[in-house]
Structure formats: C-alpha cells, structure tokens
Structure 1
Amino acid sequence: MDPQDNPFTPATWTALTTLAGPGPAEGLGAAMEEMDPAPVGIGVFEMEDGSGLWEVGAYFTQAPSDIDLALLAAAFGAKPFAVSELPETDWVAHVRRDLHPVAAGRFFVYGSHDADKVPEGAVPLLVEAAMAFGTGHHGTTQGCLEAFDALLADGLAPGPVADVGAGTAVLAMAAARVWGGDVPIVASDIDAVAVEVAAANVAANGLGGTVECVEAAGFGHPVLGRHAPYALIFANILKGPLIDLAPDMAAHCAPGGHAILSGLLDRQADEVRTAYEAAGFAEAARRSLEGWTTLTLRR
C-alpha cells in the first residue's frame, strides 16, 4: 500500500521545549535537523502569551535520543525537552469530524466532505481536512475574510493582491474568487511545504493561473516586487513579524490601498496599529473573534 493511501499516522514522538529569543530558537531548530534519527518536521514559534518565549518542537517517527536532546537544550539555553509518544490516529477522519464549514461574510470555507452544504450564492473556498492549517476555522483567518468582505461591500475596487504568510492560501483564493483573472494575486510563505499546500489548494479550487505561489520571507521575492504596489495586502502572521514588516508593507502598498492584518491577540493590536501608523497607515476598522483581532488599515 502506498503510504499516502493510509490515513493512519504511525507511532510518532514529539519533543518540545521553550527558550528566550528568536535567534537561539532558530539556532536550536536548525541544530535539530542534524539529529539521528532526524525529525520529520520542526517548528519554531513565538509563544502568544506575552511571555517573550519561543517554542521549538519536532516530530519523529523513531524515538529521539534523550541524550542528544539534553545536550541541545543545554547548548542553546532551553528548558529540558518534553518528549511524548503519540498513538496511531486517523487524523483526517479526526479533523473531518471536528472541522465544520465556516461562513465569513460572502465566503464559505469547507472540505470536500461538506461540498453539499455550500449555500447558493456563497463564494466557495475548498480547503481539505488534511490541510487544516489556515482553513478559516481560526478566528484570525475568519476575521480576515470578514474584513475583506466588508471592504468589498464598501466598494473596494480590484487591484493587485499579496497574501504574505499565506499558509493554505485561503485569503489569496478569496481574492481570486472575486477578482481572479483581472488582477495579479501572489501568495507567499516562508515555509516550502506551505507553498506546496497553497499551490495544491489553488489547483483544487480551479484557480490555477490566477494565484502565483512563491516561497519568500516578507516581500523578498522578485514576483512580489514585480506586481507592487498592491491595492490589498493580507498578512495573517504574528505580532513580531508584522511590526518588522511595517516599513516594507508601506513600500509595497499603493496610496489609498489597504492592509488586512491578523495573527494578533486582542491585547497586541494597539502596538501593531501604532507601528503601522508610523509607517503611514491609518486604522480603518478592527474586529475581534475568539480573542484575536483583525486590523484593516488604509495607506
């Protein structure tokens, strides 16, 4: 049997730790790639609790070496790794059971198992359960879709679109559904796997040729530069990267253009707004869902 035909994940081990600062966290993540057995996936994330700590985690299909993990933690000043073994799980069935369609303004996000539930007149966005990150079920993605819907209701004119940190590209696909073929739309992500997922989703939605998916940090790709300035920029990432991107965001956004930002805890929104006001944006609207804020800014 082809492994891709088997929905059950074999026994998997996770190893998680926390430490201070993005530099050490990224260094630890890079060092873990050299482990034997090597992890099949590594994540480095800023924790969203205001602690300033970063989490580094990895997945293994063989039990990792406790000695290697202890040495790596000590070398980078991290807390001891917490290692757990996960049982075999049919993750796709599990996600399908819990992942329900989401209506966000005119947009309707669904998996193929719910294709019969798309309301007449809705703008459909298909994201499979196996690609559940960024499907619209999180308050940040749903907030971005609702913010875009509100701009459209106010008469937002078509123009070039960038989706920075696109994940599954659901936001870029929303723009393609309403403007596809009329304007360039670029979905970018720093993670190569995310770019592959984005391209697969674009194809599954019949939007091939309307969204260009590229691997890039921020606006660091020739394709993103070629289509600037943008009438609309989505950035559903974290507070720190959003603040760092503010000058670049202003440089790539057309005068009168909009940026829809999320990935923000409610208490982080004002700090991000202040950074963008300094870069030349003004707040046009904000919405809060499940403790997460989405900012709509106008340049």
Structure 2
Amino acid sequence: MLLLTALGSQTLIRAAADELDRHDPSPADAVSWFEEKPGKFRIEIYVPTQQDAASVEAIVGAAAPELHLKIKKVKAADWVAMSLEGLPAVRAGRFVVAGAHALAGEANGRTRIWIEASEAFGTGHHGTTWGCLMALEGVLRERRVERVLDMGAGSGVLAIAAAKHGADALAIEIDHRAAAIAKINAKQNKVGPRMQVIAGDGARYIASKQFDLVFANILMRPLIRLAPKLVRAIEPGGTLILSGLLRQQAGLVREAYANRGLILEKQIPKEAWMTLVWRKP
C-alpha cells in the first residue's frame, strides 16, 4: 500500500479530490482531505500499486499542478494502528472526542467522549460531526438541554455528548451493527441510563414525541424527505441541527426547512461540509 500526500490551499486540495472522485474506476482506494492548520489543507490518497500512484500523480497534476505530492509505503499493520490508536483527539468547543489511546493524554477540563474507530460513523474527525458538536456547544452556552433526539446516530457520539451534559437522549440508527456499537459507546462513556438506542427506521418512534434538541447528521435526500417529521419532533423554542451536507447542497435543505416555519440561526462550514442550526418559534 502507498500513501500520497500534499499540502496546499483549500481550493487546490478540493480540486484534486474532486477530480479523483470523478474517475471511475479510480486508481485510489481511499481519498480524504482536511484542514491541518489554519489556511493549510492536506490531502491523503491511498493506492495499492506504483502504477496506481503514477495515475494519481497524473490526475492531480492536471487538476492542481501547484500541489507537490509526496509518496511513501504504508505497512499493512499500520491500518490497525491508525484506526485504533493513530487517530488524534478531536476538539470541538468544550468537547474532546478520541479513542482510549489518545484520550489518556487529555487533561484539559473538556468533556471527554470515548469513541474508538469502528464500522459506525462518528469519531469526530469528519467535518459534519465536528459541526454538530460545535452547534451543540452553542446551544449549551444559552440553555440546558433536556430531551434530545439523534437521528442517524452512527457511533452515538452526538447523543453521548448531550447526555454527558444532563440530557435524556434517544439515538436512532437504521444500521443494526452501528446501533450495537452505539450501545457499547454509551456504556463506555457511562451514559447508558440516560441514552436509549433504537435500531431500525426511527419515524414511528418519534411520531408522538417532541424534543428540545434534534440532531440529524445524515444525507441531503433523507433530510429533505424527513423534514415534516423532524419539524414536528421539535418543541416550540427547540433547536434542530442538520448536517451530512456538502456546501453546495445546503441551499436545497435550507429551502425545505425554511418553508416549514423554522428560523435559520447559524451555518457552520467545515472543509467541504455544512451544518445548519435552526430554531422553532
């Protein structure tokens, strides 16, 4: 396995990533990009062979010639190390999310959330999870949260974050394996009694319930489709936090929810992603 990396502006990094995404089949097994420090972004591209690496260099060179790719070999064992121990802690406002290895070094007064890398989405490293945690930070600065719904909970990280600040949380996840992981995470974070995890389609579970905070970190199409149910699930004065959106998709989702009487209070961009924070009058 080979790893190609480059540092550059967001414009260049995004152009390279988008061009790789357009190739089908792609020479890359995996592509990710993120902000490494203010104004500087990194792209990481994993390929199986030297020939694939050469193809990636040609594609990136055409899309963003200013980027200078560096290449190195990655041992197979490194995948385990990276997934379980190599991921750095993620800090979002008062929260820090990490696996046990990285969390052991955190002693800064933040709310610690123990999430190991797994099949369930939500380690905090993705821009949408970070955006939702920052949105929760903003809500907690203004008021106490009591009843929380997390639709598409993945690892349960958002419900756990709210439960650690006193909320009773309902986490709904359609994938049964991810729901099982969310239950484990709730227990490990000592919020099991405050957090209920349900595996399956959540629509029927929330039909007669209302919450003062609702998370839905899923995808654009289900967010639009679920708009009537999610809006009904928010009590007056409550907050709805939506994510899972690319920046260019945010307009369609804004229209779907603004037409239902919600007030858009904040937009939180992170890399290619957008988080929307709504209030129900």
Question: TM above 0.5, one fold?
Answer: yes
Task: Please state whether the residue corresponding to 2:261 is helix, strand or coil.
Answer: coil
Please tell me the residue identity of whatever aligns with 2:160.
M
Q: Does 1:243 align with 2:230?
A: no
- What displacement does 1:220 show? 2.4
**Contact in 2 for aligned 1:218/1:245 (Cα 8 Å):** no
User: Which runs of structure 2 are paired with 1:1-299 in the superposition (5 Å)?
Assistant: 91-96=79-84, 98-130=86-118, 133-153=121-141, 155-180=142-167, 184-221=168-205, 224-225=206-207, 228-299=209-280
- What displacement does 1:264 show? 0.2
Q: Distance in 1 between matches of 2:247 and 2:276?
A: 10
Partner of 1:24: none
Task: Please state whether the residue corresponding to 1:241 is helix, strand or coil.
Answer: helix
Please tell me the residue identity of whatever aligns with 1:203.
K
Q: Judging changes above 3 Å, is the alpha-carbon distance between structure 1 residues 239 and 231 closer, same or farther for their aligned structure 2 residues?
A: same
**Contact in 1 for aligned 2:266/2:276 (Cα 8 Å):** yes
Q: Distance in 1 between matches of 2:165 and 2:245?
A: 26
- What displacement does 1:88 show? 6.4
Q: TM-score, normalised to structure 2's length? A: 0.70
- What displacement does 1:176 show? 0.4
**Contact in 2 for aligned 1:263/1:292 (Cα 8 Å):** yes
Task: Please state whether the residue corresponding to 1:129 is helix, strand or coil.
Answer: coil
Q: Distance in 2 between matches of 1:50 and 1:270?
A: 22
Partner of 2:11: none
Task: Point out where structure 1 has 5 or more consecutive residues left out of the alignment.
Answer: 1-48, 52-86
**Contact in 2 for aligned 1:92/1:129 (Cα 8 Å):** no
Q: Deviations over 1:181-238 (max 9, x none)?
A: xxx31000111111101001001111111100002324222xx346x21100000000
Q: Judging changes above 3 Å, is the alpha-carbon distance between structure 1 residues 236 and 50 closer, same or farther for their aligned structure 2 residues?
A: farther
Q: Distance in 2 between matches of 1:297 and 1:194?
A: 27
- What displacement does 1:131 show? 5.0
Partner of 1:28: none
- What displacement does 1:279 show? 1.8
Q: Judging changes above 3 Å, is the alpha-carbon distance between structure 1 residues 114 and 88 closer, same or farther for their aligned structure 2 residues?
A: closer
- What displacement does 1:116 show? 2.2
Q: Deviations over 1:226-260 (max 9, x none)?
A: 6x211000000000000001100111110111100
Q: Distance in 2 between matches of 1:225 and 1:179?
A: 24
**Contact in 1 for aligned 2:97/2:112 (Cα 8 Å):** yes
Q: Judging changes above 3 Å, is the alpha-carbon distance between structure 1 residues 179 and 98 closer, same or farther for their aligned structure 2 residues?
A: same
- What displacement does 1:168 show? 0.2
**Contact in 1 for aligned 2:103/2:112 (Cα 8 Å):** no
Task: Point out where structure 2 has 5 or more consecutive residues left out of the alignment.
Answer: 1-19, 23-74
Q: Distance in 2 between matches of 1:110 and 1:282?
A: 33
Task: Please state whether the residue corresponding to 2:194 is helix, strand or coil.
Answer: coil
Q: Deviations over 1:126-155 (max 9, x none)?
A: 0013456311100000000001101111x1
**Contact in 2 for aligned 1:239/1:264 (Cα 8 Å):** yes
Identity of aligned pairs, percent? 40
Q: Which runs of 4+ in 1 moved over 4 A?
A: 87-90
Q: Distance in 2 between matches of 1:133 and 1:89?
A: 22
Count of residue correspondences: 211
Q: Distance in 1 between matches of 2:105 and 2:160?
A: 19
CA RMSD after TM alignment = 2.4
**Contact in 2 for aligned 1:133/1:167 (Cα 8 Å):** yes
**Contact in 2 for aligned 1:92/1:130 (Cα 8 Å):** no
**Contact in 2 for aligned 1:234/1:260 (Cα 8 Å):** yes
Q: Distance in 2 between matches of 1:258 and 1:50?
A: 34
**Contact in 1 for aligned 2:85/2:102 (Cα 8 Å):** no
Please tell me the residue identity of whatever aligns with 1:220.
R
